Structure 1
Amino acid sequence: MRNECKIIAMSDIAAEEVRWLWYPYIPYGKVTIIQGDPGEGKTSFVLAMIALLTRGEPLPEEAAGGEPVNVIYQSAEDGLADTIKPRLERSGADCSKVLVIDESQKDLTLCDARLEQAILETGARLIVLDPMQAYLGDQVDMHRANEIRPMFKRLCRMAERTGCAVILIGHMNKAQGLKASYRGLGSIDFRAAARSVLLVGRMKDSPDIRVVAHDKSSLAPEGRSIAFALDAENGFQWKGFCDTTVNELLAGEGTVQTKTMRMEEALKTMLTKPVSVEEVFRRAKELGISERTVNIAKKNLGVGSVKSGNQWYWTAPGARM
């Protein structure tokens, strides 16, 4: 008996636009990989992003937010009670919208039917698996393309059916001098299947500043790199766009400078005494810095506001009029 061969004409396919959770970094209905060396801030970056999404606030450098969304977050390395939830709370996430598939009876894998079931039941717009290597299953060799391809194909089809954005967080291997394409753990088919790949790292001369660089973008022009700060004293802080390249990030060389960081330095210089809000924004205009960036810098530094008469002033943290 002959197998039926069904032919589809492209003229019969309705064209659709790509929809974005975060343009041009994370598309809906597709797989995005976020990778970097251990300890570089991949999980912190994703949790900070989840906090904004669950509150309906704009993602970095976006003009407006949207409706708060449900997010499914699976972690195989960190405890939910003693690590993930405290970090979400510190980020300001709405934890009622951060959901977890119970793996106490059965471990989850990338092609597990529970992924789609959970997305459909909760209406989640994003699902995160951290790290992706932990969700391959015991019988899958991550270095064998013939084992990785069918698993990723099923995952990609699930993402497309549900319209949910899928983020896989991955570690990188220790090989030096290789292109980012070959630094991910396991088969290069991981990268090939993903429509977007983001690289997280830091510079040698600024260890508290981390950078997210767009290493692969199949559906839109690559986005600019985005910096964030991560330290014990101040926690996580968004720092805005920078010009760091993927190659610079891999080498850990170069200097990170953003408009947010420039505004922070300007505020530190100005706030040796209380300064009127008008003067602050006048200086920001001279520097070509937007009102939103000024307010981010103010929040990052913990700058105070005080009213005297009919005039508002900004003060250094802890200072008084």
Structure 2
Amino acid sequence: MEEIKQTKSSYHLINMADVIPKKVEWLWNPYIPLGKLTIVQGDPGEGKTTFVLQLAALLSRGEMLPCDDKEREPINIIYQTAEDGLEDTIKPRLLEAGADCSKIMVIDESQQELSMTDERLVMAIEETGAKLVILDPIQAYLGAEVDMHRANEIRPVLKRLGSIAEKYKCAIILIGHMNITSGSKSTYRGLGSIDFQATARSVLVVGRIKEDPTLRVIAHDKSSLAAEGTSIAFRLDADAGFTWEGRYDISVEELLSGDSRGQKTKDAKAFLTDILSDGQKSSKEIEELAKDKGIKKKTLFNAKRDMNIDSVKIGNQWFWML
């Protein structure tokens, strides 16, 4: 057997007693962590880029993000796209979203294409102090020599990109398409190696509601640093444009399969309207009756919140009322 040689200089043992814990910081809690990689993926034409540009617009102005009441300062953003023109597509979309375009920068790729390991990416982050970097789509920024289906080629690229995010405490969003395989778990529908999903600390899936083609949903597929966030809907309408619709009760698998898209919340709202129509009821009674009808507690409380149902404590019990 060949002897394995190990030099002292390459060996370093970390004692966990010496590791100092640090709190996770968020760009958008719990969807986009700072200092980490986030993937936004979905089928072509579902609104991934539109959603990310709307986020960028809000962040460029320092405004509150959907379902998040955190106050924030405007941030600088680096946005790279290999699919859409800056003049005829990206700039008009940013203007329509009300973005402060002076906060959004693009590394010039006219002479040389950018990659995830490109030193210009680090230079741009250092110069601008950007807290968000967007690469759209993933495969365009891997580099010409990297096969996105080979884990051994993907891992070092993503590791370096993750190190850049951590060093500069910026969020990096990778936008990707999903493959056409139906019936698979969402984790396995991302294009390329599963190492993309494994390395990212958060994965968001954007999909369309079949019963209402103008309605799209952002569902949290993976969250390594916090509990998964509630799905959030937005509307893309030819006349009204883009509007945020708020929370939407649907799982990733339901969104991708087309099953029960939003029907659960509708059923829960109808149930609450009926049961509270003749006056207040105790929360315990409501939860028991909802359980009998197959309505999950989470869905029930989502419906309660959306309907602005009041909770009042009388004696030792809580009561709900319209």
- TM-score range (shorter-chain normalised) is 0.7 to 0.9
- Residue 155 of structure 2 is aligned to residue 133 of structure 1: no
- Aligned counterpart, 2:154: 148
Q: CA deviation at 1:7?
A: 1.8
Map residues 159-178 of structure 1 onto 2, 5 A cutoff. Answer: 159-178=165-184
Deviates more, 1:187-196 or 1:250-259: 250-259
What is the one-letter code of the residue matched to 2:308?
G
Aligned equivalents of 2:114, 2:17: Cα separation in 1 = 39
Q: In structure 2, do the counterparts of structure 1 residues 64 and 8 end up closer, same or farther at CA, with 3 Å as the change threshold?
A: closer
- Report the secondary structure of 1:207's partner residue: coil
TM-score (norm 2): 0.79
Partner of 2:14: 8
Residues 1:288 and 2:308 are matched in the alignment: yes
* CA distance in structure 1 between the partners assigned to 2:229 and 2:307 by the alignment: 23
Aligned to 2:285: none
After TM superposition, the structure 1 = structure 2 runs for residues 171-250 of structure 1, keeping only pairs within 5 Å, are 171-250=177-256
- Provide Cα deviations, 1:52-88, integer angstroms capped at 9, x if missing partner: 1011100001113311111100010000010000000
User: Aligned with 2:175: secondary structure?
Assistant: strand
Partners in 2 of 1:239 and 1:163 — Cα distance? 30
Equivalent residue letter for 2:130: A
Task: Quote the Cα distance in structure 2 between the aligned partners of 1:123 and 1:2.
Answer: 39
Q: Deviations over 1:145-178 (max 9, x none)?
A: 1100111111111111110000000000111111
1:18-76 CA distance string (max 9 Å, x none): 00000000000000000000000000100111111011100001113311111100010
Equivalent position of 1:37 in the other structure: 43
Q: How far did 1:256 drift?
A: 3.3
C-alpha contact (below 8 Å) 1:40/1:200 kept by paired residues: yes
Q: Structure 1: how far apart are the matches of 2:179 and 2:306? A: 45
Residues 96-122 of structure 1: CA deviation (Å, up to 9, x unaligned) = 001101111211111112112111110
Q: 1:46 aligns with which of 48, 52, 56?
A: 52
| Distance in 1 separating the partners of 2:199 and 2:37 | 8
Amino acid at match of 1:128: I
Picking from 68, 74, 95, the partner of 1:68 is 74
Secondary structure of the corresponding residue to residue 206 of structure 1: coil
Q: How does 1:78-117 map to 2 (within 5 A)?
A: 78-117=84-123
CA–CA distance in structure 1, aligned partners of residues 34 and 76 of structure 2: 14
Question: Which runs of no fewer than 5 residues in structure 1 stay unpaired?
Answer: 263-284, 291-321
Give runs of ≥4 in structure 1 deviating > 4 Å. Answer: none
Deviation at 1:286, TM superposition (A): 11
Partner of 2:27: 21
Letter aligned with residue 239 of structure 1: E
Q: Which amino acid aligns with 1:39?
A: G
Percent identity over the alignment is 62
Q: Given the two structures, how large is their TM-score scaled by the length of structure 1?
A: 0.80
Q: Conserved in 2, the CA contact under 8 Å of 1:203 and 1:254?
A: no
2:67 & 2:197 partners in 1: Cα distance?
26
